Structure 1
Amino acid sequence: MTLPATSRGFTLLEMLVVIVLMSIGIGLVGFGLSRGLHSASERQVVAQMVQTLRTARSAAIISGETTEARFDLKQRTFQAPGQRVQQWPAELGVQLNTAADLDSAFAFHPDGSSSGGNLVLFAGERNWRIDVGWLTGSVKSRALR
């Protein structure tokens, strides 16, 4: 038994429509994935900055000496005492608010207190704030938008 000519397969137009739809779908998934990876890398930098500040606080308490976590806004780097220098990406803006005599650093004292202040990080519409309490030296981060 033979089938009529109209039911033997797909037309070229149908195949092209399927290929175009698949290309659009793959493009959208790729865009979403790259945006998610970019956002994750920004959150990772925020977490690294928080860890740097907490490391400096711990070092001050353990050593019994005042220590500083330094942030170089021109070179886009930050470092805790005894740790390697880390860099944040150029697309991430950082605003530092701390005691004027410390320039671009947070000082942590042996009793756990600190100079206090905050860091505001911004990338496009996303913003984060890292607060350093002056009395307790606690370091907390939160997303602003």
Structure 2
Amino acid sequence: MNNQQSNEAWHLARDLTRKVKGRKVTLNPEPLNGHRSRGFTLIELLVVLVLIGIFSSLVFVAVAGGILRSEERRFVQSFTQTLVRARSAGLGRGEAVRFLIDGESRTFCVEGLKWQDIPESIKVEGKGVGEVEPGIHAVTFYPDGSSSGGEIDLKWEGGRMDRIVIDRFLGLVGMERISS
């Protein structure tokens, strides 16, 4: 360090320490009580960790509930789309096409296509839906657009119930919420 740099450093240090009303004041003063703060106490850290844990669990519950509702929506959408696909196939092929539900294996499909699973959290009940074999129920869609008709109730574990209505004359598929 040369002489000029040393002189500048001394002036800088002198400027940082000033006397105000007879007291020496620096940029890094000692606390009035004479004790230095050394950070957070263990109790403060534990309280913060507990709060983080509580908020994390609340977020997890909200996300998990959203995921379950999302799975329910996907199932209902898949179920109703499969019914509509069966109706379209009947119109397009010019022959009767059946939508099948197997109660024992908890699956459903358009006749001749891949079976899809029904979640365990859902109970499926039908009214006016024909039984083609023991345990296998069907809604038949005819080439003129009509169907065998019926109602399919989807009962969820939480008490919610949706009803899918298949119109006998037009073969249209509709859904209504019975209870929340």
TM-score, normalised to structure 1's length? 0.91
The residue type paired with residue 118 of structure 1 is E
Instruction: Give the distance between the partners of 2:129 and 2:79, measured in 1 at CA.
Output: 18
CA 1:70 to 1:100, structure 2 compared with 1: closer, same or farther past 3 Å? closer
Instruction: Give the distance between the partners of 2:105 and 2:125, measured in 1 at CA.
Output: 13
CA 1:113 to 1:5, structure 2 compared with 1: closer, same or farther past 3 Å? farther
Which of 9, 14, 30 matches 1:2?
Answer: 30
Matches within 5 A, 1:1-145: 1-3=29-31, 4-5=34-35, 7-100=37-130, 102=132, 104-123=137-156, 124-144=158-178, 145=180
- List gaps (5 residues or longer) in structure 1: none
* Equivalent pairs, count: 145
Instruction: Give the distance between the partners of 1:20 and 1:143, measured in 2 at CA.
Output: 41
Secondary structure of 1:69's aligned partner: strand
Instruction: Give the distance between the partners of 2:107 and 2:101, measured in 1 at CA.
Output: 6
RMSD of the alignment, in Å? Answer: 1.7
Q: List per-residue Cα deviations over 1:7-26 (Å, max 9, x = no partner).
A: 43211111111100110110
Worse-superposed segment, 14-23 or 95-104:
95-104
TM-score, normalised to structure 2's length? 0.75
Q: List per-residue Cα deviations over 1:49-89 (Å, max 9, x = no partner).
A: 10111011001101111110000111110001343110111
Instruction: Give the distance between the partners of 2:38 and 2:150, measured in 1 at CA.
Output: 74
Greater RCO (Cα-Cα under 8 Å, separation 6 or more): 1
